[in-house]
Structure 1
Amino acid sequence: MVADISQPNFSDFREDQHGGHVAQVNTLDWNCTGDCLGTGSADPSLLLYKLHPNGLIQTSSLANDKVPYSKKLPGVAHSNFFLIWHPSDPDRLVSLDEEGIRFWDTRSAKITTSLPVAKKLLYAVWTPNGNEVVVTTSSNVNMIVDVRKEAIAKILSNSVEVNQAAISPDGRSVLQGLGNGHIAVCDYPSFQNRISLAGHMERVLSCKFDPSGRHDQAPPHSPLVSSMYFLSGSHDSTVTVWDFDTLMPVKNHYNYDSAINDASFSHDSQYLALGGDEYTIKINHTVTGELAHKITCSGLPLALSWNPKHMLLGFSGESFPPDRENKSGMANVNVFAPKL
């Protein structure tokens, strides 16, 4: 298994590329144990990449019996917009495509539940207990899916554009990134608005809670405070880190030069990865905002996901040296990882 690094030297990391898709990779996410990376594409397909003990991702299909480390999920006939793994079951995930919401058992590579939806789906997030999934749509609607009943339990309309949502670890609060640049902090499951934070000048696409929770046990000399954080990433090219207790900003990250499409906390919450409408991923220190590393990509990094257990970053778009001429590679899946 990959060793954890308390103070990583990102200049000593390597960027590994992996094929499998033949069209743009729209979404990716690690499972809860950090040993499998799921990816969704416009080709259309969903692929699973297993983390090998030597730290590499093996990418051959199960159809190739010689390298049985990855799996292509059958029954996918439409472009995949988003996928996210179950919070505690490493073999279950939910995906969103042009036809609706699909729940998967990846051990059997089969769909367990399929819910047709006539709206364009954007994002999904599980409740911490895995009993519900909140799905946002392009028509400013939130849907709460009851996983056990295999049905849409509630539909909630909004007066403004809603994008990514995030549910707090205790399952009592939900964040919503809005088209007016605000972050709505609401009670869950009622979605009763508690406060609207005017954090950005343009639409907010990314909202996430930090994965390590409260920081009472932060390492000595760590800049992290005891509170829990969340982030908001916007088309105004900024990412803001917020204190969830006070609902006050901790740090604004200004060093990205274009619209932010995705942002992700590292597993220990010490770092943020920022990706958007430029051919770079920037890794910043969460609280200080200092740039720790920059990854140059050949395609726009549409999706980012830090591994929940290790200092590994998965992202879409091919990485390449700055002087490389051939910059194609939007169909690749990439992992930024320590050299072995």
Structure 2
Amino acid sequence: MGPDGRCGACGTYQQQLGQQAGQQPYAPSQQPYPQQPSQQPPYPQPFPQQGMAAGMPVGGADLRRGLRIALMVALSVCAAVLLLLFWARTQQRLALEALLDDGVTATTQDDAEAADGFVAFSTVLYFLTLAASATLWAIWMRRARQNAELFAPGTHRFGAGWAAGAWFTPVVNFWFPKQIVNDIYRASAPAGAQSAPKGLLNSWWTLWIGSAALNLVGSVMAAGASAKIQTRGYDGSSWREDVGALKTAASVTGFATLLTAVAGVLAVLVVRQLGSLQEQRALAGPQSVPPGGVPYAATGYPPVQPGPGAGWNGPPQNRYGSGPAGY
């Protein structure tokens, strides 16, 4: 048989010989040759491909701004009322100073009583705004804690209930809330826990705790001095000491009130900052999976390389017959 398919003896082609022998001519199979995929299947898939991001927990973060804006407004109003209370305590201190300088007269007593009434009115107004702010704060803090759980599951020291209730629990409210907010900040930082901002948060907490401690000291001093004045009156030689102690208490509580007002302004900034961090963290998407890795105990897609059959349409055909060349 020659290279062109003809018989060397008779010159007949192989196809003609097959027909003479009653054989059917060779025809290639109509079944397509198996091909390997030239690329990985498109996304979405049960698990992410190499270098892609892992899926976020189900549910998503609650980033509605209505509650946050309402809280910021309430805190701002509360800070303004605190400034009013600071002015009232300043008037009280000046009235007590006039009482010491001018002695006990009808005018100085009336001024002192009027200053006390101004302080009482401002205090009631402050507690009303504080109650509204505290309610919104607890609700917002719980929501922020739930969002942080989505960003970094299992990294928090306290549950979402403590995020709302720790602020009102005696004794532990001096350190539990700070730890809770620290965890929320670390989980909400877009660039990772180590990049969480700390300056504003620490300044606000320091002023809040410091003002609370000073206000407690001033309140105790004022209660003791007022009790002595009510018992002894302005008779005798000790009334000047009692009024002087009451004046000192007014100065301490006034300074504590001013610190609380500044802490309120910083609280507004904390709410704004944390809300912005959580929005950025949510927009940043899920944390990326290292190349070559999939979630533990998950079956990932094996890497598929284009094989020699990728895009192959079958063997070349013999132009001199019906069979494939080389077969």
TMscore range, shorter length: under 0.3
Structure possessing the higher relative contact order (Cα contacts under 8 Å, 6 or more residues apart): 2
Greater helix content: 2
TM-score normalised per structure 1: 0.20
Greater Rg over alpha carbons, structure:
2
Q: TM-score, normalised by structure 2?
A: 0.20
Higher strand share: 1
